[in-house]
Structure 1
Amino acid sequence: MNGTLRVGLVGWGAIGRAVGTALTEHRIPGAELVCVVDNRPLGDAAPAPQVSFDEALERCDLIVEAAGQGVVREWGERVLASGTDLLIASTGALTDEELSERLRAAGPGRVYFTGGAVGGLDLLQAVRSLGPLDEVRLTTTKLPGTLEQPWMDEELLSRLRSATGPVEVMCGTAREVPVKFPKSTNVAASVALAVGDLDAVRVRVVADPGAHHTRHVVEASGAHGSYRFDVAHLPDPANPATSQVVPHAVLRSLAALAGRTGQIL
């Protein structure tokens, strides 16, 4: 692309701070942080002006969502309709197929998704062109405290809090699980995006008090081959529900969009 990519960042949490700091330090050549959107007054905490969403659309070529699924639902289509591109970190929002279809159809802005804490999505997307996969399984293992949710009953909460080893918290499809764990299971939606079928991806969520690393194991098989990706990340100290690597996945996506050569696409 020509010129500098003007980036607006939505969310100044664990992911947003890491992304915004890297942009401010010019670690992504060709990309510049021009504003931050957050529902809290940030004062001098942010290295770029804090503005309204409407003003961000006027200033930016690209909006980076780092604030949760609600932002994607509320603002996604409007961003794209304004002609601004959108990079989504909270892919769990795309378990709403109607929203997913509307975002893909919206424009003239373009929508992109970052792979976040799991690898192999590019390969699964390529394999999908050969034909459907017969089986896709994801097992996500995290610390119990990061998985507690308001909908859980006392029996399940007690099992989580008293666990001395792995405890299965939920088993379902990539359509069902991210809705129940909106801050912890974007990986399930990302895998489903790669294979093109929310219902084809079976997901197990496991709580383990010994899980010093957040672990995602993807297993897929079909007529053309079998695939297994096993990743283990340190949780982010500021937000243990996400992995330390997630903002760096966002930055890798930004580097590709800014035109950095040598990228694996």
Structure 2
Amino acid sequence: MSSTAPRRVGLIGWGAIGRVVGGALAAGEIPGAELVCVVDNRPLGDSVPAPQRTLEQALESCDLIVEAAGQGVVREWGTTILASGTDLLVASTGALTDERLAKELLNAGPGRVYFTGGAVGGLDLLQAARAMGPLDDVRLTTTKLPSTLEQPWMDEELLGRMRSATAPVEVMAGTARDVPVKFPKSTNVAASVALAVGDSNAVRVRVVADPAARHTSHVVEASGAHGSYRFEVRHLPDTANPATSQVVPYAVLRSLAALAGRTGQIL
């Protein structure tokens, strides 16, 4: 473990992601990082392994905030956190499809902003390929259970097709700029791919509802002058929150380990 002082971590959100991340931190599973407090707008009582604090209180005692509560938190508090000098690790990357917000976060400081890849792999390879030249065609197809994709903006016709489906139904097609806004809890992967590619408008996204989908599926296809790439990941949904894949909190923990200075891992 590094001889430097441990990262003092404040965790925003005590849901499907936050409980796993907070439990691992409290158990000392991330060398170089300690859980100082939990921020949540609900009274959590004794269910959390660290004191519950307001965000303002967390900024007084933490040098790293982990967002595990949704895109709204990133929009409302991201720049405030960074302006305080506190670093921010974002799990809800879908918020970054808002170009204005993304620029604000990247230009804010003195705190630094970091992003986790969440439920998709291959982003490092896409970044490397992009460094050689533009990717001409980037596509993402996300498939989930219909119930996890229902949204308030959907009309009765679409909801009816999803609820009565016996085969896959395309729910929406658009760019990585459009889709995460419509599915704020279900399509952070689209934003993560867009961040790797460097252009939200260049990533074409299909969202598919499949009543037989035991796993959540993400298929990324990209091609350019230097090669073609295809990645497919299939995750079991979280039992407490089926809109989130079980692997997501562990991706957050891996990012935390890197920020805390753990050595001997692939970056």
TM superposition score category, shorter chain reference: over 0.9
Q: Which residue of 2 is the match for residue 120 of structure 1?
A: 122
Any residues of structure 2 matched to 1:1-265 within 5 Å, and which? Answer: 2-265=4-267
Q: How many residues align?
A: 265
1:231 partner SS: strand
Deviations 1:203-236 (A, max 9, x none): 0000001000000000000001111110000000
CA–CA distance in structure 1, aligned partners of residues 25 and 129 of structure 2: 34
State the TM-score, normalized to the length of structure 1.
Answer: 0.99
2:135 partner SS: coil
State the TM-score, normalized to the length of structure 2.
Answer: 0.98
What displacement does 1:123 show? 1.0
1:236 partner SS: coil
CA–CA distance in structure 1, aligned partners of residues 54 and 86 of structure 2: 15
CA–CA distance in structure 1, aligned partners of residues 74 and 124 of structure 2: 23
What displacement does 1:61 show? 1.0
What displacement does 1:34 show? 0.4
CA–CA distance in structure 1, aligned partners of residues 36 and 128 of structure 2: 35
CA–CA distance in structure 1, aligned partners of residues 76 and 155 of structure 2: 29
2:213 partner SS: coil
What displacement does 1:188 show? 0.2
CA–CA distance in structure 2, aligned partners of residues 77 and 123 of structure 1: 29
The alignment yields a C-alpha RMSD, in angstroms, of 0.6
**Letter of the aligned partner of 1:24 in structure 2?**
A
**Letter of the aligned partner of 2:71 in structure 1?**
Q
2:110 partner SS: coil
What displacement does 1:252 show? 0.2
2:242 partner SS: strand
CA–CA distance in structure 1, aligned partners of residues 202 and 158 of structure 2: 27
Q: State the identity as a percent.
A: 82
**Structure 1: 4+ residue segments shifted above 3 A:** none
CA–CA distance in structure 2, aligned partners of residues 105 and 174 of structure 1: 22
What displacement does 1:7 show? 0.5
1:190 partner SS: helix
CA–CA distance in structure 1, aligned partners of residues 50 and 87 of structure 2: 19
What displacement does 1:131 show? 1.4
CA–CA distance in structure 1, aligned partners of residues 57 and 155 of structure 2: 43
CA–CA distance in structure 1, aligned partners of residues 121 and 173 of structure 2: 21
What displacement does 1:136 show? 0.2
**Letter of the aligned partner of 1:192 in structure 2?**
A
What displacement does 1:3 show? 1.2
**Letter of the aligned partner of 1:90 in structure 2?**
S
CA–CA distance in structure 1, aligned partners of residues 84 and 192 of structure 2: 25
Structure 2 portions without partners, runs of 5+: none
**Letter of the aligned partner of 1:107 in structure 2?**
G
CA–CA distance in structure 1, aligned partners of residues 263 and 91 of structure 2: 23
Structure 1 portions without partners, runs of 5+: none
